[in-house]
């Protein structure tokens, strides 16, 4: 993101109101958040479902220690690798952050976090462990598409058929409560930060431009220690854990287990990241139509 554009954005923002920055991976969100916080004042708060985990820094592109020394950063790398963590957990922790006097700049690529924050999140009862295990087993043996087909039409219309994690969650809720996820969502309570009370920015990146940035960043991650970071997670690797969904982790695990070369794993990691960015853009287009859009490159 060029400095001139950042300067224009800074001039257009009120230094009093919270800022929300969403966008696909590698689009420059964290850099913009740091620029706003250091230029206007505020605390940077994570809104990315993978950057919460303590076992990843390089592979999830968490802010560097140098960035964290410039302004306060919250909700980064504070969750154990084997812990369950959901949007509900994030909202609960965020509520404590919002109770302070500091202006917040929330930044991340997890669309569900932002919609829950600005539109509200229904309090769904806990899913029994036995049912959760059944769901995991069915996804692995039959595939997410089978579970998707069993959901009600209203819920299906709100899901990305390629997002196995969200399908799994919707199926668990339906089986545990007898109600579809869409019905639960329609009973949503008031949001923590209504969209009218914040300054929402959505970064929209040209696909080819973003693809090159994704490739360059993944190569930099590999050169900067991502393989060693994955090696540190290898002994207790469990692909079912939420933390194991870090983009590129599974591909580098395959490399360390001798199933593919590093060049093949790197190429596969780039492809996985591009697919993830595509899913993010799909969510943003469908759920964030009222956000201020910033297109890059110009």
In the chain, where are the structural domains located?
3-121+193-206+280-296, 129-185, 213-278
The per-residue DSSP string of 169-194 comes to: HHHHHHHHHSS-HHHHHTT----SS-
CATH code at 3-121+193-206+280-296: 3.40.50.300
Please return the burial class of 266, using the count of CB atoms within 10 Å of its CB with bins 0-12, 13-18 and 19+: buried
- DSSP letter assigned to residue 128: P
46 φ/ψ angles, rounded to the nearest 5 degrees: -75, 135
- Show the tokens assigned to 53: 């985990």
List all residues 6 or more positions away from 284 whose beta carbon is below 8 Å from its beta carbon: 22, 23, 24, 111, 202, 204, 291
Closest to 272 measured CA to CA, from 162, 166, 183: 162
Q: Which fold is adopted by the domain 213-278?
A: Helix Hairpins (1.10.287)
User: What is the value of pTM for the model shown?
Assistant: 0.82
User: What's the confidence (pLDDT) of residue 230?
Assistant: 98
Q: Are 209 and 28 spatial neighbours (Cβ–Cβ below 8 Å)?
A: no
User: What's the confidence (pLDDT) of residue 159?
Assistant: 94
- Show the tokens assigned to 289: 């139509």
- Show the tokens assigned to 213: 């940035």
User: What's the confidence (pLDDT) of residue 98?
Assistant: 95
Rg (CA), the chain: 19
User: Can you say whether the dihedral through the CA atoms of 77, 82, 84, 87 is positive or negative?
Assistant: positive
User: What's the confidence (pLDDT) of residue 104?
Assistant: 98
Mean pLDDT by 10 residues, the chain (298 residues): 71 95 96 95 97 98 97 98 93 95 96 95 86 92 95 95 92 95 87 96 94 98 98 95 96 98 98 97 93 85
User: How far apart (Å, rounded) are the C-alpha atoms in residues 284 and 279?
Assistant: 9
- Show the tokens assigned to 109: 């690529």
User: How far apart (Å, rounded) are the C-alpha atoms in residues 243 and 226?
Assistant: 15
Architecture label for domain 129-185: Orthogonal Bundle (1.10)
User: How far apart (Å, rounded) are the C-alpha atoms in residues 122 and 131?
Assistant: 20
124 φ/ψ angles, rounded to the nearest 5 degrees: -80, 135
Residue 166 CA to chain centroid, in angstroms? Answer: 13
User: What's the confidence (pLDDT) of residue 122?
Assistant: 80
The answer to whether the 3-121+193-206+280-296 and 129-185 domains have the same CATH topology is: no
List all residues 6 or more positions away from 210 whose beta carbon is below 8 Å from its beta carbon: 24, 26, 27, 277
User: What's the confidence (pLDDT) of residue 7?
Assistant: 75
User: How far apart (Å, rounded) are the C-alpha atoms in residues 111 and 160?
Assistant: 12
For the chain, what is the largest distance between any 2 Cα atoms, rounded to a whole number of angstroms? 54
């Amino acid at each position: 993101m060029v400095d001139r554009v950042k300067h224009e954005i800074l001039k257009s923002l009120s230094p009093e109101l919270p800022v929300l920055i969403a966008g696909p991976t590698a689009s420059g969100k964290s850099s913009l958040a740091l620029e706003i916080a250091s230029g206007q004042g505020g605390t940077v708060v994570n809104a990315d479902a993978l950057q919460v985990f303590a076992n990843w820094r390089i592979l999830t592109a968490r802010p560097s220690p140098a960035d964290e020394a410039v302004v306060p950063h919250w909700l980064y790398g504070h969750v154990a690798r084997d812990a369950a963590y959901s949007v509900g957990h994030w909202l609960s922790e965020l509520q404590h952050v919002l109770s302070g006097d500091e202006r917040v700049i929330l930044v991340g690529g997890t669309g569900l976090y932002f919609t829950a924050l600005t539109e509200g999140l229904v309090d769904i009862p806990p899913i029994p462990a036995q049912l959760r295990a059944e769901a995991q087993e069915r996804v692995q043996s039959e595939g997410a598409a089978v579970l998707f087909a069993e959901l009600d039409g209203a819920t299906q219309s709100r899901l990305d058929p390629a997002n196995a994690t969200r399908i799994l969650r919707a199926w668990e809720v339906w089986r545990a409560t007898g109600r579809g996820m869409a019905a639960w969502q329609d009973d949503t309570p008031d949001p923590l930060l209504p969209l009218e009370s914040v300054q929402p920015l959505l970064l929209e990146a040209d696909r080819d431009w973003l693809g090159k940035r994704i490739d360059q960043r993944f190569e930099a991650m590999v050169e900067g220690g991502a393989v060693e970071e994955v090696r540190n997670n290898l002994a207790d690797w469990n692909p079912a854990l939420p933390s194991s969904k870090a983009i590129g982790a599974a591909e580098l695990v395959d490399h360390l287990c001798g199933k593919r070369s590093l060049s093949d794993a790197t190429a596969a990691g780039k492809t996985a990241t591009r697919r993830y960015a595509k899913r993010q853009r799909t969510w943003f287009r469908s759920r964030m139509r009222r956000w201020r859009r910033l297109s890059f490159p110009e």
